Amino acid sequence: MPGDKTVGGGDDAFNTFFSETGAGKHVPRAVFVDLEPTVIDEVRTGTYRQLFHPEQLISGKEDAANNFARGHYTIGKEIVDLCLDRIRKLADNCTGLQGFLVFNAVGGGTGSGLGSLLLERLSVDYGKKSKLGFTVYPSPQVSTSVVEPYNSVLSTHSLLEHTDVAVLLDNEAIYDICRRSLDIERPTYTNLNRLVSQVISSLTASLRFDGALNVDVTEFQTNLVPYPRIHFMLSSYAPVISAEKAYHEQLSVAEITNSAFEPSSMMAKCDPRHGKYMACCLMYRGDVVPKDVNAAVATIKTKRTIQFVDWCPTGFKCALWSASDKIGFLPPVSMDAEILRIASDNWILGLMEYSFLHL
């Protein structure tokens, strides 16, 4: 996440996640890593193969076989230096490096083992630079391996020590949102990824757009983390509605705010009504004014189901911005992009952390 204009000049908002070559081509500031080539090969040969730099698509010859130790100590150790070399080249191309966004799932051997190793090495090489993790944890009903809990526990140590903020996701919660809110009977990984991408897009929008009450990603740690090791966030997103309902729904800021606090909107299987908040960040995007936000937050504060702890400073952090219609969005389901613009006139991303998360 660079914090300034970069090689090739141009729009700061665009250059946050893309660098411009001398030939005028925009290349994502991203490195894709896997210990086996199958998935990375899909990117190499897929529709967007011309978008990515070939050297930033890194794959090994064999996977970690759902084994944390293989991903961290043996197979992963052979490839980590190559990954860090590519990351260093990207970092050198930034005039003001803010930090890193790390995406991984901790149920498998590669995501947990190699993911932990990369976080540890990034801490050594880049010191105090912010590291935001978007981590997919195993869920009770949606599991691909019996050893997922072991990999997750082993990986959590690195997340505790080497990330500044970790946003928790799980496939079961996102599956349920797709079925219940988007009327998708059998959601695919494409549906899940598109919904998650909307959450991450809202989270990083403050880096790319101006707003009335803007918030920078580095402020999440300041406002949401009372103690360094307590930095695991639960995210929610609203409104999530199907294409058919989008034509008829007209939700107010208060309604969207209320729905963001519902357990059914959470991106991980967790009921916040059974715990207390330590901090909460509300990020509004679209046709929203501060007056409506203040009224919605005032209403939320009166609810008994939303309580804050009494042993640390608490409160709501709010951010507002509106994005241009010229920006292209990824729809959360297989629908026309126009439908998404209608459905997303007002939306909110709530980042919450709860007192009952003890690791």
Enzyme catalytic residues: 219
Cβ(139)–Cβ(157) below 8 Å: no
What's 209's DSSP letter? Answer: S
- For 44, counting Cβ atoms within 10 Å of its Cβ (0-12 exposed, 13-18 middle, 19+ buried), the class is middle
The residues pairing with 318 across neighbouring beta strands, listed in sequence order, are: 282
Please state the separation of Cα 154 from the chain's center in Å.
21
Cβ(96)–Cβ(129) below 8 Å: no
Distance separating alpha carbons of residues 193 and 205, to the nearest angstrom: 18
For residues 132-168, one letter each, b for 16 or more C-beta atoms within 10 angstroms of the residue's C-beta and e for the rest, the string is bbbbbbbbeebeeeebbeebbebbbebbeebbbbbbb
DSSP 175-190: HHHHHHHH--SS--HH
Residue type at 290 in one-letter notation? P
Which pair of structure tokens corresponds to residue 12?
């700061």
Distance separating alpha carbons of residues 109 and 111, to the nearest angstrom: 6
Which pair of structure tokens corresponds to residue 254?
């208060």
SS3 content of the chain, % helix, strand, coil (to 5): 40, 20, 40
Distance separating alpha carbons of residues 168 and 179, to the nearest angstrom: 20
What's 140's DSSP letter? Answer: S
57-59 and 99-105 beta bridge pairing: unpaired
Which pair of structure tokens corresponds to residue 124?
């050594």
Distance separating alpha carbons of residues 34 and 82, to the nearest angstrom: 12
